[in-house]
Chain A
Amino acid sequence: MRDGGVGPTLVLVIAVGVLTATGVTLLLERSLTRILLGVILFGNGVNLLILVGGRSGGAPVVGAGPDEEMSDPLPQAMVLTAIVITFGLTAFLAAVAYRSWYLGGDDEVQDDVEDQQIVALAARNEVANADLGGEGPGDDPEQVDPEPPQRPRRSGGTR
């Protein structure tokens, strides 16, 4: 992987950069399938980055070679865990994309409700007003006339 130098090979570093950059570009898309591909690329880029962070060398087994020529086993262990986790998350995202396509016919991430409401209000040139409804005692006969209540409604108990 490296000729006993001080840093990782340039090839690996460039691979990390390319994977991450393409991954991030795909993440910016609207379609969940592309986001999925982006997550896969980005995840692999990050995993490679962890691997690059450790010392390379021979197999990290005691007795297999001199200690100072061993590779660092910790990033490899971490990468294994990270690969499993990334795999699980990717599988879940694939399931969400499929379900979304199954229900809605496409797998695009839609605008949220708030955005849609604001766009609709803007199109009608109105101002949002949540505080609707009759205020004041005039609208509410019970508030003016505090007769003894008949029975508390919640003790009805009919199922």
Chain B
Amino acid sequence: MNQLLPLPVVVPLLGAALTLILVNRPRLQRAVSVVALGTNLVVAVLLLVRAHRDGPVVTEVGGWPAPVGIVLVADQLAALMLVVSSAVTLCVLVYSIGQGRAETSESAPVSIYHPTYLVLTAGICNAFLAGDLFNLFVGFEILLAASFVLITLGGTEARLRTGSTYVVVGILSSMIFLAGVGLVYAATGTLNLAQLAGRLDALPDGVRLALQLMLLLAFGIKAAVFPLSAWLPDSYPTAPAPVTAVFAGLLTKVGVYAIIRTETLLFPGGQVANLLMVVAGLTMVVGVLGAVAQSDMKRLFSFTLVSHIGYMIFGVALSTTAALSGAIFYVVHHITIQTTLFLVAGLVEERAGSTDLRRLGGLARVTPLLAVLFFVPAMNLAGIPPFSGFLGKVGLLQAGVAQGGPLPWVLVVAGTATSLLTLYAASRVWNIAFWRAPQLATAEPVTRLPGLMVGATTALVVLGLALTVAAGPLFQVTADAATDLRLRTPYVRAVLPGGPP
């Protein structure tokens, strides 16, 4: 079973090499990509089952024992992230294949798309599984380099304009991360996360706080937490729809994952809890106010993306078991829903020629199926009761109320207001684009939407609904994961069975 652990990194990389060779054979290229990501999903599910039953799965990659060699670790949090990200990347891949086959728009992916996409997946998986800080950095770099290529795909003027901002911000954040890694090593003499857990505790408070803030800054840029989030709504919307969808769903969540991991394993004790709470509240409110003011679907969803990162940071800031459990559940929910919404925006663009609300109307009458595909995840995002968005928010808000105190209460109020404003923004899109008299931005004759695109989007909508139905068992897994995170010992003991040297 432990031999399975490197597969989520190795298989996509191997697939990337194969698809690069097969550039001139598109059918085979697509088949290889789908098989690689399908394998990933199966492996991820097996790892989650194993991690849930028997505790963290650990592999020493080079055969050297833990503090010296590099380890890959899949505890419940990492395995859960792996499952969701594999499912989402697979669906988005199928969607992009459908888009490529239809060849109806200029935004159809070019042949370099498949290798790059697989490298991106490998980077994401590596970041989730990394058992030491430098490997986490390498994972970030793999996904970042791939994302640079994807966001400037085709090299048009608009994509370069937004892409250059994204590239510079990405490079800056990795430099800060790298400097943080160097300083952590200088202070402790190790980068193994399990060993760091003990050694960082022994450091003087000031040094520890400085290291923590440095890493938080780097991850905060990647996760698009409020003062560091301005790059996101500008750079995401111009990329091709599947690229935007996978970026929105996964890249920021990798940052959130890194924050959860470092805040619980390396720097517990809540030294920066108040700072995180203030930042979380501002992220929610500022993000959703931005969404309310937008007139383009993709930009609007980019702002809700930023806004809802705040909920997860709120959970990390509270750092009780219930709050962490809620935050992890919210990450899972948000990856699925946000990706779905961007895919739907892509379908709207495909069908109506634009995502600009000022040029759209009456889509519900023109394409009822598309209207359903938009309505369900939009209401889910806004947190309407039966859906998983509601359950995640309730979990977090309950944890906030249980904590008590002025700041958590302010955050609970801000969270509720954000939820309502998200509902307002979502229903505004619904009213303007899907009701009213039909008005499309394209004069082209009506064609059927490609079946694969609709199928992949439907699959993600269904996955979002499944999160609601399976919320009970899922909350059990996240609660277990949160307990393990709070205890720290399961992780440390799995990596260093003989105790830290």
Contacts and interface: CB of A to CB of B under 8 A. Distances in A.
Given A130-B358, A154-B446, A158-B445, A88 B145 contact: yes
B167 A93 contact: yes
B181 interface: yes
B394 interface: no
A46 B185 CA distance: 13
Interface residues of B, number: 55
A133 B358 contact: yes
B71 to A, nearest CB: 15
Contacts of A49: 179, 182-183
Nearest to A114: B234
B160 to A, nearest CB: 5
A59 interface: no
A49 to B, nearest CB: 5
A50 to B, nearest CB: 4
Contact of B293 (A100, A128, A139, A142): A128
Contacts of B437: 134, 139-143
Given A93-B168, A143-B437, A42 B183 contact: no
A136 B447 CA distance: 29
A96 B163 contact: yes
A140 B241 CA distance: 31
Interface in B362-389: 362, 365-369
Interface string A78-97: 10011001001100110011
Contacts of A47: 178
Nearest to B188: A53
Interface of B: 134, 138, 141, 144-145, 148-149, 152, 155, 157, 160-165, 167-168, 171-172, 174-175, 178-179, 181-183, 185-186, 191, 233-234, 293-295, 299, 357-358, 361-362, 365-369, 428, 432, 436-437, 439, 445-449
Nearest to B186: A53
Contacts of B445: 156, 158
A93 B134 contact: no
Nearest to B141: A85
Contact of A109 (B165, B361, B368): B165
Interface string A135-153: 1000111110000000011
Contacts of A1: none
Contacts of B155: 99, 103
A86 B183 CA distance: 18
B185 A133 contact: no
A113 B138 CA distance: 33
Given A46-B182, A78-B134, A134-B436, A100 B164 contact: yes
Contacts of A82: 178
Contacts of B181: 50, 78
A124 interface: no
A43 B447 contact: no
Interface-central residue, B144, B152, B182, by most chain A CB under 10 Å: B182
A39 B186 CA distance: 23
Nearest to B449: A154
A92 B446 contact: no
Given A50-B185, A139-B437, A130 B138 contact: no
B438 to A, nearest CB: 8
Contact of B168 (A88, A109, A130, A134): A109
A23 to B, nearest CB: 8
B436 A140 contact: yes
Contacts of B448: 154-157
A75 B185 contact: yes
Given A49-B179, A89-B141, A93-B168, 9 more contacts: A53-B182, A78-B134, A85-B174, A89-B171, A97-B164, A104-B157, A112-B234, A130-B432, A159-B447
A112 B166 CA distance: 12
Contact of A96 (B152, B174, B367): B152
30 contacts: A27-B168, A27-B172, A42-B175, A50-B185, A53-B182, A54-B186, A74-B185, A78-B134, A78-B181, A89-B145, A89-B167, A89-B174, A92-B167, A96-B163, A96-B167, A97-B164, A99-B152, A99-B160, A100-B164, A114-B233, A131-B432, A134-B436, A135-B436, A139-B436, A139-B437, A140-B437, A143-B437, A154-B369, A156-B448, A157-B447
A42 B173 CA distance: 12
B88 to A, nearest CB: 26
A31 to B, nearest CB: 11
Given A53-B185, A96-B160, A130 B449 contact: no
A6 interface: no
B178 A50 contact: yes
Nearest to B102: A159
B164 A32 contact: yes
Interface-central residue, A78, A134, A143, by most chain B CB under 10 Å: A78
Nearest to A74: B185
A74 B367 CA distance: 59
